[in-house]
Chains A and B, each alone.
Chain A
Amino acid sequence: MPDVAIQTYKLTRTFGNLTAVDNVDLQVAAGQFFGFLGPNGAGKSTTIKMLTGLLAPTSGSMQLLGLDFVSNSVEVKRQIGVVPEGMGLFERLTGAEYLNFVGRMYGLDRATTRHRSEELLEFMQLADRPKTMIADYSHGMQKKLALAAAVIHGPRILFLDEPFEGVDALAAGTLKALLGRMTERGTTIFLTSHVLEIVERLCSHVAIIHQGRLVAQGSLEELRAGISGEEGSKTTLEQIFLSIVGQSGAERPQLEELSWLT
């Protein structure tokens, strides 16, 4: 098993004149719970789309589990699981049908697919609505199903684009429980989220992207030490994040300007 799960070299993606991701060199060790952060429009989703085969890079390269993605895309995809932006669900299937579909797409045999589907539906508390179509699921239920579909084939790397967005505390608890199980079995988890508290609690390592460029990367301790200049600092991830992306207090909108709200 390679030590490095994800490695990118000068990964770049442009859209016309806009460079969404600019020469990103990323390295994620196997088994890490990795948080990928950045403000809106920083290039998080573009990066995760490239790493999962949904978007082709303009230049640069990427290796997953030691394999070059472009020349081994099918083999790489077999070993990764994805919860893409918008979840990518087929809304006209029931939860069980969708999991069966995905399992078979990843080449699992029928019996294994069915067994894992049922287990996952039970675990995610989705088993009591066997005839409900995904279109009729609540947002939280859809998120849980999307995560179940991403792990059904036992991936070695799991990519999650905003998995906790719009999810209530109960559903978030279930998602975290499943992610916990995945990390226990050595799965590398690559997660983007705007909820910094969750990232701080779950992730051991973090990278921050800003205006398409990777501006910080390392363990939380390393980042804290880098900001405060001392080891064992109590600096929060939010403070680190605001400090790095430059959204200091001086640049924030001034409430005093809204005189009628005072």
Chain B
Amino acid sequence: MADVAQSVGLFEQIRLVAGLRWRLLRNSMRKKNNRLDLIGLIFAAIFGGILVIGLCFAFYAGAYQFLSNNRPGWIALLFWGIFLFWQAIPLFVAGFGANFEFRTLLRFPLSLSAFYIIGLAYGLADFSAIASLCWLLSMTAGAAVAKPGVLPAMLLIGAAFILFNATLERLIGSWLERLLSRRRTRELFLGLFVLSMISLNFISPLLNRYGAAARPAFLRLVPYFAWLPPSLAGRAIASAVQLQPAGFLLGSAGLLFYVLALTLLLRRRFAAQYGGEELSETAAPARPAIRPIAAKDDGPDRLRLLSPQVAAVLRKEFRYLTRNGFTFLTLLLPPMLVFIFSMNFTGRHPTWGKGVSADFFFPGMMAYLILILMAPAYNSFAYEGRGIQTYFTAPLRFRDVFLGKNIMLVTVLALEMALSLSMLAWRVGLPSLHMLVATVAAMVFTIIGQLTVANWSSLSFPRKLEFGQMRGQRQSGMAVLVAFGSQILLGGISAVILFSGRWTGNLWLPAEAFALLAAAALGGYIASLDPLTELAEKKKEALIEALCR
């Protein structure tokens, strides 16, 4: 052998990993399609910088005020703020998927200790960690200016607090990595995340209704918070200011206990990774099972009115819908939104005396729901992936694919609308009969009218999307533009016709007009299927290329 690799120092390895992380970021900007990401990143950096620097002043002023005004115990609030920010932000970005897997470093000659320290140092390069470090420094400066004697205590407690947060953040990250390595868990996590974000809308009405009653219960919990690390850090600093060594020692020892316990747990996790923990979910080869072929009686085909191809696409679409945890959970959105809006804008609002009438609320709500639910139809092949090739190798006309997909979408829309209508009837009440008929006819017109455009858009501007991921999951810009344009156009036409009933004094005029338009839209839709089939043949290469990447 000519030579043998030399052992590399720990700091050199940390430097190499930091360099690797930087180069990955830099190289990702070189791709043409990431220029927009770069602009976004610049804006995010500007706003992030303003946030961090602005809050640096706030933390400095807070620490200075608390210590100057003999309220040193309140400094715990600042520790709590940093703690929550440091731990919560990485949790929010976890569902978006990491662009660099730290575990890949295991292929290199690293000892477990080096792997542990690099892992910990790696966590300190996160935005939340850097911002928190800045704020801790500002706090320390503020406290030292107010009470110079507290500086050693601040430095000691600050260092322990950093170690605690860095260790906890990496530990949670490591657990999450293990949890999210499974596709189903990842999708469920994403769906729950979206739902929890939407649920934030309930906070205001819930606080209005139950806030006063919940306050005593919350106050009873406060003493228990005193034993948590941010409170312990605050207690140690307050004791140092008040020259109470026992209190300082108790706070410091408590904090160090947490650091020690978390270090042990993190070391166990890293040791498992270091030992080659398998996170893959690919099915292992199994012993072949000998089973008799079931002689099931299939019974009559429930979709026998459709051609076998349309029925097959319809069944496949239904299965895809039920398998996509994220999409499936978002189907809960429409009735939930009706509920939220009804709480905020209508007569049943807990604090408002009066609200919007059902004759306005009903068509407005339905238009909003169509806006949300029709959007995916403009890129309806997004989740097909490589399966799209089957549609072109199978002996079928592409109109069958559209029919199957569109029937599925219309069925889902009908169910969603029925659910939302029930919710409306319960929360707000039904609109007048002429408005109900006009709105339903308008929905038929706008949905069928949009289907034709959406099918064309799906063929013309396809963009692959992955299940259970949010990073890089953007629709094609043109598809969004087409969706937006056609929805504005059809929505505008519908609004004018709906109001025409009031202007002309003929309340049934909108219903009649929409019935005619719906019939015309249906005719247009049927007539569009053959030209779309020809278009699919022309666009198949672009479609396959876009979806099979």
The 4 closest A-B pairs by CB, nearest first: A88-B389, A90-B387, A104-B312, A128-B289
Known: A91-B387, A104-B309. A118 touches B293 (CB 8 A): yes
For this complex, 19 residue pairs linking A to B, each with C-beta atoms less than 8 Å apart, are: A54-B540, A77-B393, A80-B393, A86-B389, A88-B387, A89-B386, A90-B316, A90-B385, A91-B386, A92-B319, A104-B308, A104-B312, A105-B312, A106-B394, A107-B395, A135-B183, A137-B283, A141-B283, A262-B2
- Asked if B393 and A78 make an inter-chain contact with CB atoms under 8 angstroms apart, the answer reads no
List which A97-135 residues lie within 8 A (CB) of chain B: 97, 100-102, 104-111, 114-115, 118-119, 122, 125, 127-129, 132-133, 135
Residue of B nearest to A137 (CB): B283
List which B340-393 residues lie within 8 A (CB) of chain A: 383-390, 392-393
Contact partner of A92 (CB less than 8 A), chosen from B284, B293, B324, B395, is B324
Residue of A nearest to B290 (CB): A122
- Asked if B392 and A54 make an inter-chain contact with CB atoms under 8 angstroms apart, the answer reads yes
Contact partner of B467 (CB less than 8 A), chosen from A55, A92, A125, is A92
- Asked if A75 and B395 make an inter-chain contact with CB atoms under 8 angstroms apart, the answer reads yes
Residue of A nearest to B282 (CB): A138
- Is B278 engaged at the interface, CB distance under 8 Å to the other chain? no
List which A43-100 residues lie within 8 A (CB) of chain B: 52-56, 74-78, 80, 82, 84, 86-93, 97, 100
CB neighbours (8 Å) of B541 from chain A are 54-56
- B247-255, B294-302, B475-483: which lies at the interface: B294-302
Residue of B nearest to A80 (CB): B393
- Is B9 engaged at the interface, CB distance under 8 Å to the other chain? no
Residue of B nearest to A170 (CB): B285
- Is B513 engaged at the interface, CB distance under 8 Å to the other chain? no
- Asked if A105 and B308 make an inter-chain contact with CB atoms under 8 angstroms apart, the answer reads yes
- Is B30 engaged at the interface, CB distance under 8 Å to the other chain? no
- Is B548 engaged at the interface, CB distance under 8 Å to the other chain? yes
Q: Mark B387-409, 1 if CB is under 8 A from A, else 0.
A: 11110111111000000000000
Q: How many residues of B contact A (CB 8 A)?
A: 49
Distance in angstroms between the alpha carbons of A53 and B308 in the assembled complex: 21
CB neighbours (8 Å) of A136 from chain B are 183, 281-283
Query: How far in angstroms is the closest Cβ of chain A from B2?
Result: 4
- Asked if B308 and A115 make an inter-chain contact with CB atoms under 8 angstroms apart, the answer reads no
Contact partner of A128 (CB less than 8 A), chosen from B183, B286, B389, B390, is B286
- Asked if B390 and A88 make an inter-chain contact with CB atoms under 8 angstroms apart, the answer reads yes
Residue of B nearest to A88 (CB): B389
- Is B320 engaged at the interface, CB distance under 8 Å to the other chain? yes
Residues of chain A touching chain B, judged by Cβ–Cβ distance below 8 Å, are 52-56, 74-78, 80, 82, 84, 86-93, 97, 100-102, 104-111, 114-115, 118-119, 122, 125, 127-129, 132-133, 135-138, 141, 170, 259-262
CB neighbours (8 Å) of A100 from chain B are 312, 315
- Asked if A54 and B282 make an inter-chain contact with CB atoms under 8 angstroms apart, the answer reads no
CB neighbours (8 Å) of A106 from chain B are 394-395
- Asked if B183 and A86 make an inter-chain contact with CB atoms under 8 angstroms apart, the answer reads no
Distance in angstroms between the alpha carbons of A91 and B288 in the assembled complex: 22
Residues of chain B touching chain A, judged by Cβ–Cβ distance below 8 Å, are 2-3, 183, 281-289, 291, 293-294, 296, 298, 301, 308-309, 311-313, 315-316, 319-320, 323-324, 383-390, 392-397, 467, 537, 540-541, 544, 548
CB neighbours (8 Å) of B324 from chain A are 92
Query: How far in angstroms is the closest Cβ of chain A from B452?
Result: 24
Known: A88-B389, A90-B387. A74 touches B285 (CB 8 A): no
Contact partner of B390 (CB less than 8 A), chosen from A55, A92, A102, A109, is A102
Query: How far in angstroms is the closest Cβ of chain A from B419?
Result: 24
Contact partner of B293 (CB less than 8 A), chosen from A80, A107, A111, A115, is A115
Distance in angstroms between the alpha carbons of A138 and B282 in the assembled complex: 6
- Asked if A74 and B396 make an inter-chain contact with CB atoms under 8 angstroms apart, the answer reads yes
Known: A55-B541, A88-B386, A125-B288. A74 touches B283 (CB 8 A): no
Distance in angstroms between the alpha carbons of A238 and B319 in the assembled complex: 46
CB neighbours (8 Å) of B548 from chain A are 86
Contact partner of B298 (CB less than 8 A), chosen from A97, A114, A129, A259, is A114
Most chain A Cβ neighbours within 10 Å, of B282, B323, B384, B394: B394
Residue of B nearest to A90 (CB): B387
Residue of B nearest to A75 (CB): B395
CB neighbours (8 Å) of B394 from chain A are 77, 102, 105-106
CB neighbours (8 Å) of A128 from chain B are 286-289, 291
- Asked if B282 and A137 make an inter-chain contact with CB atoms under 8 angstroms apart, the answer reads yes
Distance in angstroms between the alpha carbons of A72 and B396 in the assembled complex: 12
CB neighbours (8 Å) of B316 from chain A are 90, 93, 97, 101
CB neighbours (8 Å) of A76 from chain B are 395
Residue of B nearest to A141 (CB): B283
CB neighbours (8 Å) of B386 from chain A are 84, 86-89, 91
- Asked if A261 and B2 make an inter-chain contact with CB atoms under 8 angstroms apart, the answer reads yes
Distance in angstroms between the alpha carbons of A106 and B391 in the assembled complex: 11
CB neighbours (8 Å) of B311 from chain A are 104
- Asked if A260 and B383 make an inter-chain contact with CB atoms under 8 angstroms apart, the answer reads no
Query: How far in angstroms is the closest Cβ of chain B from A213?
Result: 22
Contact partner of B283 (CB less than 8 A), chosen from A132, A260, A262, is A132
Q: Known contacts A86-B548, A111-B298; can you find 5 more A-B pairs with CB under 8 A?
A: A54-B389, A56-B541, A92-B467, A107-B395, A128-B286
Contact partner of A107 (CB less than 8 A), chosen from B286, B309, B383, B389, is B309
Query: How far in angstroms is the closest Cβ of chain A from B196?
Result: 25
- Asked if A54 and B395 make an inter-chain contact with CB atoms under 8 angstroms apart, the answer reads no
CB neighbours (8 Å) of A114 from chain B are 296, 298
- Asked if A138 and B289 make an inter-chain contact with CB atoms under 8 angstroms apart, the answer reads no
Distance in angstroms between the alpha carbons of A229 and B370 in the assembled complex: 73
- Asked if A53 and B392 make an inter-chain contact with CB atoms under 8 angstroms apart, the answer reads yes
Query: How far in angstroms is the closest Cβ of chain B from A194?
Result: 20
- Asked if B393 and A54 make an inter-chain contact with CB atoms under 8 angstroms apart, the answer reads yes
- Asked if A52 and B293 make an inter-chain contact with CB atoms under 8 angstroms apart, the answer reads no
CB neighbours (8 Å) of A129 from chain B are 283, 286
Contact partner of A110 (CB less than 8 A), chosen from B291, B298, B384, is B298
Distance in angstroms between the alpha carbons of A108 and B131 in the assembled complex: 62
- Asked if B383 and A127 make an inter-chain contact with CB atoms under 8 angstroms apart, the answer reads no
CB neighbours (8 Å) of B312 from chain A are 100-101, 104-105
CB neighbours (8 Å) of A102 from chain B are 390, 394
- Asked if B323 and A105 make an inter-chain contact with CB atoms under 8 angstroms apart, the answer reads no
Most chain A Cβ neighbours within 10 Å, of B284, B289, B395, B548: B395
Distance in angstroms between the alpha carbons of A76 and B396 in the assembled complex: 11
Query: How far in angstroms is the closest Cβ of chain B from A175?
Result: 15
Query: How far in angstroms is the closest Cβ of chain B from A52?
Result: 5
Distance in angstroms between the alpha carbons of A106 and B307 in the assembled complex: 11
Query: How far in angstroms is the closest Cβ of chain A from B74?
Result: 52
Known: A87-B386, A90-B385. A119 touches B283 (CB 8 A): no
Distance in angstroms between the alpha carbons of A115 and B282 in the assembled complex: 27
Residue of A nearest to B324 (CB): A92
Distance in angstroms between the alpha carbons of A141 and B288 in the assembled complex: 12
Contact partner of A127 (CB less than 8 A), chosen from B281, B289, B384, is B289
Residue of A nearest to B544 (CB): A54
Contact partner of A118 (CB less than 8 A), chosen from B289, B294, B384, is B294
Residue of B nearest to A132 (CB): B283
CB neighbours (8 Å) of A107 from chain B are 308-309, 395
CB neighbours (8 Å) of A170 from chain B are 285
